[in-house]
Amino acid sequence: MARHGKKYTKVAAVIDSTKKYTVDEALDTLLQGCYTKFDESIDVAIKLGVDPRHADQMVRSTVVLPNGTGKKERVLVFAKGEKVQEALDAGADYAGGDEFVDKIKEGWIEFDKTIATPDMMGTVGKIGRVLGPRGMMPNAKLGTVTFDVSKVVGDIKAGKVDFKADKAGIVHSMVGKASFGAGKLRENLLSFVEKIIQLKPSSSKGIYLKGVSISSTMGPGIKLDTLELRSLFK
């Protein structure tokens, strides 16, 4: 059994593990329990009634959180010609072609997200074994293989998050920082959940939103009342 420190134990003691909290109750309780000196991330985990082994039940997409994530994403754009300057003008940290592929082959990974124009994917494929396992490979389904690099760079900088249901049908995502306060976190959380609800596969039967919990970096999870949560979107 995992052993926790006194501060964690004190926070966990005030959370009723058998109770399902309203969104407002959960956020207030969560923020009161943040005890670290650094600005803790706030995460959500959603258990879905899907079987990701079936392609028609995979839940995967992106959403731009209204208040961002609080994390500064370093963006690398694989492009050539005028698209390089377009990416830099839009706020990309790095933009170029073969020179960055060569740097990455040598071990350089000073970025968090990548975008590629379609005509660069043949080149980017050479470092697929490096980017793929890290979840950094440009992906057309996520909108990161595109000629509209300025829009995608802007979305990422504004707080775009990618998500995908894991093998157990659970979607995890960061929805902000403790310093945001309950109001902004509520807006981000509801935007994320609304997107998940919109993506319900037609082949998914029974209860779709099976369970939702939120937690801080160092704190215990707090279960949300899914009935109350669903009612907020009617």
- In a shared domain, residues 86 and 151: yes
| pLDDT tens-digit map of 128-156 | 999 999 999 999 988 999 999 999 999 99
Mean pLDDT computed over every residue of the chain: 93
Pick from 4-13, 32-41, 102-111, 185-194: least confident:
4-13
Report yes or no on 1 lying in a domain: no
Which residue among 157, 182, 204 closes a domain? 157
- What is the mean pLDDT of the segment spanning 27-34? 91
Q: Are residues 55 and 116 in the same domain?
A: no
Q: Confidence class of residue 34 from pLDDT cuts 50, 70 and 90?
A: confident
122 and 144: one domain?
Answer: yes
CATH assignment at residue 83: 3.40.50.790
How many domains is the chain built from? 2
Q: Looking at the structure, do residues 166 and 148 belong to the same domain, yes or no?
A: no
Burial of 164 (0-12, 13-18, 19+ CB in 10 A): middle
Domain interval for residue 121 = 75-157
pLDDT at 107 over 50: yes
Asked if pLDDT for residue 1 goes beyond 50, the answer is no
Q: What is the distance between the alpha carbons of residues 114 and 219, in angstroms, rounded to a whole number?
A: 31
Quick one: average pLDDT of 196-218?
A: 93
Q: Which of 4-13, 25-34, 101-110 is predicted least confidently?
A: 4-13
Say yes or no: 61 and 95 in one domain. Answer: no
The predicted structure's pLDDT at residue 219: 86
Examine residue 62 and state whether it is found in any structural domain, yes or no: yes
Could you tell me the two tokens for 198? 């919109």
Determine, yes or no, domain membership for 43.
Answer: yes
Q: Are residues 22 and 82 in the same domain?
A: no
Same domain (yes/no): 153, 164: no
**62-75 residues labelled b (16+ CB within 10 A) or e (exposed):** bbebebbbbeebeb
129 and 87, same structural domain?
Answer: yes
Is pLDDT at 36 greater than 90 in this prediction? no
pLDDT of residue 2: 57
Residues 167 and 206 in one domain: yes
Same structural domain, 146 and 178: no
CATH number at residue 167: 3.30.190.20
Which of 140, 157, 174 is a domain's end point?
A: 157
User: Residue range 18-43: average pLDDT?
Assistant: 92
pLDDT recorded at residue 10: 72
pLDDT at residue 11 in the model? 75
| Boundary residue ending a domain (157, 180, 196) | 157
- Predicted pLDDT of residue 13: 77
Whether 141 and 79 map to the same domain: the answer is: yes
| Residue 83 pLDDT level (bands cut at 50, 70, 90) | very high
DSSP secondary structure, the chain, as one string: -----HHHHHHHHTS-TT--B-HHHHHHHHHHT--SSS--EEEEEEEES--TTSGGG--EEEEE-TT--S----EEEE--THHHHHHHHTT-SEEESHHHHHHHHTT----SEEEE-GGGHHHHGGGHHHHGGGT-S--GGGT-B-S-HHHHHHHHHHTEEEEE--TTSEEEEEEEEGGGHHHHHHHHHHHHHHHHHHT--TT--S-SEEEEEEEETTS--EEB-HHHHHHTT-
Whether residue 205 has pLDDT greater than 90? no
Give the HSE-up count for residue 117: Cα atoms under 13 Å, Cβ half-sphere.
18
Same domain, 63 and 83: no
In a domain, 204, yes or no: yes
- Given a cut of 70, whether residue 3 has pLDDT beyond it is no
pLDDT at 93: 97
